[in-house]
Amino acid sequence: MNVRLALAYEDFVTWARAKKVEHSQPEFKARYLRDATTGYAEMSMKGHNVA
Residues 23-45: tens digit of each pLDDT? 888 898 887 777 778 878 777 77
- The pLDDT confidence band at residue 51, using thresholds 50, 70 and 90, is low
Alpha-carbon span 29 to 16, nearest angstrom: 19
- Do the Cβ atoms of 47 and 24 come closer than 8 Å? no
Q: What pTM does this model have?
A: 0.70
Structural domains counted in the chain: 1
Residue-level pLDDT at 33: 79
Residue-level pLDDT at 34: 73
Question: How many C-beta atoms surround the C-beta of residue 14 within 10 A?
Answer: 10
- Output phi, psi for 19, to 5 deg: -90, 0
Q: What percent of the chain has pLDDT over 70?
A: 86
Alpha-carbon span 48 to 51, nearest angstrom: 10
Q: Domain containing 20: what range?
A: 1-51
